[in-house]
Chain A
Amino acid sequence: MPRTHIGRRTFLKLSGLVALAGIDFIGLRRLGAAEAKAAQVAQDEWVATCCNMCGGTTGIFARVYNGRVIKIEPNSFNPVGICNISTDFASLKSTGARMCPKGNAGIMSQYDPDRVKRPLKRIGERGAGGWQEISYEQAVSEIAGKLAAIKAESGPEKVVWFTEDNTCVPIQQSFCNVFGTPNFLLHANLCDVARKFGFEKTLGNGRPLADFRNTKYMLIFGWNPLGAMKWAHLPRIVLDGLANGARLVLVDPRCTETAQKALQYGGRWLPIKPGTDGALALALANVIISERLYDADFVANWAVGFDEFSALVATKTPGWAARITGIAASTIRQVARELATTKPAVVDAWSGPGQHMNGAEGSRAIAALAGLIGQVDKPGTMILPGRKGPKFTVPPAPSPLPPRVDRQNSTQYPFAHSSGVYVEARDAMITGLPYLPRAAFFMMQNFVFSVPNTAKNLQALRNLELIVAVDTHMSETALMADYVIPGTTYLERYELLPQWVTFPVVALRQPVVPPLFGQKPEYEFVKDLALALGYNSYPFNVTYEKYMDDALLAGLNISLAQLKAMDGATWIGVETQYDKYKATGFATPSKKFEFYSQQMLDKGLNPLPNYVPTEDGPSTRYPFHIINWKEAMHTHSRTMNNRWLMEFHGENELWININRAKTLGIGDGDMVTVENQYARARARAKVTRRIRPDVVGLLHGFGHWGFGQIAQGKGTNDGQFIPGKAERICGMAALKDGAVRVYK
């Protein structure tokens, strides 16, 4: 039993603001001066805002004391962090919202001594690390001068603009449009574009959301919602579903946190060969169709192309898929029967199946399963979210637009996402085809680490005349820049965020404290650049608050001041709606769920989601697939200078199967060499049972040399081993295709 005893009188003094009369607290230790000061905890200011330690925008409260953020807490007025269904939100709200470890370490990124404090101008050779501090005004005017010269000499399209997709996108798009460059690339191309493509081309919505909490069956391909959580509510809704008796089948080469829970709750982990998810999905369809377990009503009334799809999968037997995927035919049959006969069911995927050279087709085959069993837009299935958001006015792009440098709108990528094709933009900087860009902007994005094939990325940047990086920290990309502009953290700037739940929600991110070094937020920099170039039009000629205000009034008929005053700075619209397709049809060309896509045929592609092998897999010389992933503790390549997160996980170990490690003489914790035709590097081995024998993998984002002092030299960069191609239908960067050998 606890040893310390605190008497009733002491506690009553402590209790301060709440009436807890009659309670005798035992077990509070070493309280010291708590009696006198505890009440102050509730007197600091709680500012409602949204996190940005990753792109998930979970609702938070930032507590400010003496002008400093001292603590970040969950925001239970904002559904992101609680759940994603409106009725669940109503019942769970009183139990509070949640926050992931990254969110809990936010203040260490905010007050990181390694932040960029002043605008920097390169002196000496590109990438050598020589810098001179200059004034913000000088930086803006010099950059604007160079942009004007490039535009006049060789056209506006020679400027390429890259950005993270969570920070003032409309004003950046406005700038590119007015300046005249079509080359505006966003993060999504490096993330989930293949998933978007798969669902869009079948059920007409690129971002359906899984109702894990109310389902009875979860089939998840290459996603780890209990580890790589994007929204803080994901673990709760998955675990609640499991506790309510749902069965979870997790398809992944690695036994992720989600796979562990699948096993623990009596479900399955299917350790699949990387890049073969599409084959598994087609074989599941084969069993469901041949045993007549599909939803005949949905297929007859709400789908097109079922007969063609049936003919396609007739030969895709479990035995065929077993040879490709490494999953036993009997297991495939069992899973197919369970999936088709347990309702409601969720079929979902994220980046795992998508980031391969066959990612678009694989994602479409997975999405087709949801239609086959009729599990769409009902409680406990994949929901088509009701979205509403601010409507920003963006000035139109000039017409005709010059051709894009990344071939996004060319026939080479018939269904490329609007976020662009990073790999092509990078290759254009090397080959000069279709043309050589002269300048690049990187807004909160570490291009060198995020695009596959690090060496090529560096080579590409050396061919540019002007590089501007706007970021809170130095990065390998900023290190290559001519100008580095100090960015702001999410605690220092505005953003309007339509939230990723199934009902319309818009939340405010707002400056909780002023920018630490007096620097201007990103949107002010874009505005200043526009004004310096003489673009005196809307939105550059109004304050950013006014621009947001106009967008809110246009989209939601509320003002910025009203949104700020709302509980948790969160606007909530109507409830989650189901069966919407029954009234309006699916948002596909046929208004039906499309097993067969006419628009793909029209562009010369296979109208059916056929299986094609991916590329750059293992060979005799390089026998291991190399994959990468995200975990709860880190995001992308941005969190590796956060002192607390690095204290808990400061190195990304190379996961290797215990049996293979034994053969190679590798022990747990040994330093090993990872090598292929693109790179060679050292890594610390994690010897484990939790990964396929023919696969090794790294948590993404480590191995920095240009980030802050904590990040430098820790762990191994995964991107250097990847060939660096783009999927040929939707342009997705093939971040998970690659093979290496490993030796001690």
Chain B
Amino acid sequence: MGPPPDGLSAYLQNMADDGKGIAMTDFVPAIYVDHERCIGCNACSLACKQENNFENSPAVVAGTGNYVGLGERWNEVYEYEEGRYPWVRSQVIALTFEECTMCAHRLAVGLLPACVITCLGITREFGDYEALKQKYPDAVPMGDGVTESVLFGNLSSVPSFAGNPPPPSGYVPANDCRQCHE
């Protein structure tokens, strides 16, 4: 049996058909991650290991020459919290490191990257780098060891506290989550 029908070919077909797609000659594979929806489960990280693990993975079968070694990971979820009980603000952030190949060996046969198809929160969208940036103007790339091909959206989705009593005075919500991996 062949691969299930959630592959890249259908995706690219749609992009070409709607007439609004990007110029295909400049396609740069990238992933947009919506942190408003991320639940921090690490399914992406495990899917990445499974796909690219050194021992027995599809990446080895495909011979990409770039593997996640034992104890290593190319994807990782960080979490942090602040506030004062019970006014808790916490956020998770899923980072993808420089080694990421965007699952080139999958793209080549019409499958989307392993992390994209497994994500439980449906936070990940695969597409052309510039097209994704246009679609999500607030999304930012990371850098500093974190791959720039992954765009981070809704990083500062601060809980509104609309439903709970107002936070005590002195409570300062942070707006920039990037400090959490420093």
Contacts and interface: CB of A to CB of B under 8 A. Distances in A.
Interface of A: 1-2, 8, 11, 14-20, 22-34, 36-42, 44-48, 61, 63, 65, 68, 70-77, 94-101, 103-105, 107, 111, 226-227, 229, 232, 234-236, 239-240, 243, 247, 249, 255, 257, 260-264, 266-269, 271, 328, 331, 568, 632-633, 644-645, 647-648, 657-659, 688-690, 693
B41 A28 contact: no
Given A98-B43, A100-B120, A658-B85, A249 B163 contact: yes
Contacts of B63: 32-34, 36-37
Given A2-B129, A239-B121, A648-B45, A70 B85 contact: no
Contact of A647 (B2, B71, B90): B71
A2 B151 CA distance: 12
A31 B81 contact: no
A229 B28 CA distance: 34
A373 B108 CA distance: 53
A42 B28 contact: no
A20 B4 contact: no
Contact of B85 (A94, A98, A693): A693
Main secondary structure of the interface of B (DSSP, over half): loop
B86 interface: yes
Contacts of A77: 4
Contact of A28 (B1, B49, B104): B104
Interface string B39-65: 111110111011100001110111111
Interface residues of B, number: 83
Interface in B7-60: 7-10, 12, 24-30, 36-37, 39-43, 45-47, 49-51, 56-58, 60
Contact of A73 (B24, B117, B164): B117
Interface string B155-170: 0010111111100000
Contacts of B12: 18, 20, 23
Nearest to A46: B1
A47 to B, nearest CB: 7
A301 B25 CA distance: 65
Interface string B90-117: 1000000001111011111111100001
Interface of B: 1-10, 12, 24-30, 36-37, 39-43, 45-47, 49-51, 56-58, 60-66, 71, 73, 81-86, 88-90, 99-102, 104-112, 117-122, 129, 147-149, 157, 159-165
Central interface residue in A68, A73, A257, by most chain B CB within 10 Å: A73
Contacts of A75: 4
Given A77-B4, A94-B6, A268-B163, A68 B62 contact: no
Contacts of B47: 99, 104
Contacts of B27: 23-26
Contact of B163 (A14, A22, A97, A266): A266
Contact of B65 (A31, A96, A632): A31
Contacts of B46: 101, 104-105, 644-645, 648
Contact of A38 (B26, B73, B109): B109
